[in-house]
Copies of this chain bind each other. A is one copy, B any other.
Amino acid sequence: MSAALTNTIKSEVGREGILDAAASLFRQRGYGAVSLRSIAQAAGIKAGSIYYHFASKDEIVTEILNAGILAVHAEVVAAVDAVPAWESADVIVRAALRGHLRTLLEHGDYTSANVRIFGQVPLAVRDANLSARRGYEKYLDVLLSKLQADGAIRSDVNIGRFRLMLIGALNATLEWFDPAKGSAEELADDYADAFLYGILNQTGDSS
């Protein structure tokens, strides 16, 4: 019973190969345009073989969606933890936005697949992703609430609503982001400038 457990170095496709192929296809074509046969072909196997590793298409999608959220969540936590606690709200928020956009736009296909297909997936699959999403949302809410308690964020800002606005704006970049026109971090800095300071000229002069 140690056969496959000891030696998986061969040219096997396996769970990971299927998930990688599926995530890549979901990212670039959306949910409805990706069949099990297209996943199988991209992975280098036949459609029926998928059922050796997964019980259903929903199971594949569920796994990809969850991995996508866990990836951003972990990356943002790491990015925020990397900045000293005494740093300004500007630096902290900027680190979070950088982490989010880096994962979404430049690292792997799981987070981008999640953002792309979440709204197209069967209800049961969406529900299976809510727990992971709530975890990430909760983390952001706590982070932002601390900054508000410190007085860095205006007290009249509704944190929950701002978090929705933030995530919505960030995730929407997936539709038009072009790596040839600038990195994800440059984009994150632009977004941070707008969200933190607004776009209006606030030099008290009204010429």
CA distance A193 to B161 in the complex (A): 12
Q: Which of B156, B187, B200 contacts A154 (CB 8 A)?
A: B200
CA distance A187 to B151 in the complex (A): 23
Secondary structure class of chain A's binding surface, majority of residues: helix
Contact A120–B32 (Cβ < 8 Å): yes
Q: Which of B30, B156, B161 contacts A120 (CB 8 A)?
A: B30
Contact B196–A199 (Cβ < 8 Å): yes
Binds B, one of A5-13, A39-47, A67-75, A165-173: A165-173
Instruction: Check: A175 CB closer than 8 A to any chain B CB.
Output: yes
Contact A31–B198 (Cβ < 8 Å): no
CA distance A154 to B201 in the complex (A): 5
A137-183 CB contacts (< 8 Å) to partner B:
151-154, 156-158, 161-162, 164-165, 167-169, 171-173, 175-176
Known contacts A32-B32, A120-B120, A197-B200; can you find 13 more A-B pairs with CB under 8 A? Answer: A89-B200, A152-B200, A157-B194, A158-B190, A161-B190, A165-B191, A168-B169, A169-B172, A171-B172, A194-B198, A195-B195, A196-B199, A198-B198
Task: Jot down 23 A-B pairs with beta carbons below 8 A, ordered by A.
Answer: A30-B120, A90-B200, A151-B207, A152-B201, A153-B199, A153-B200, A154-B199, A154-B200, A154-B201, A156-B193, A157-B193, A161-B187, A162-B199, A164-B173, A165-B173, A165-B190, A165-B191, A167-B172, A168-B173, A169-B169, A169-B172, A196-B200, A197-B202
- Find the B residue at minimum CB distance from A168: B172
CA distance A194 to B116 in the complex (A): 26
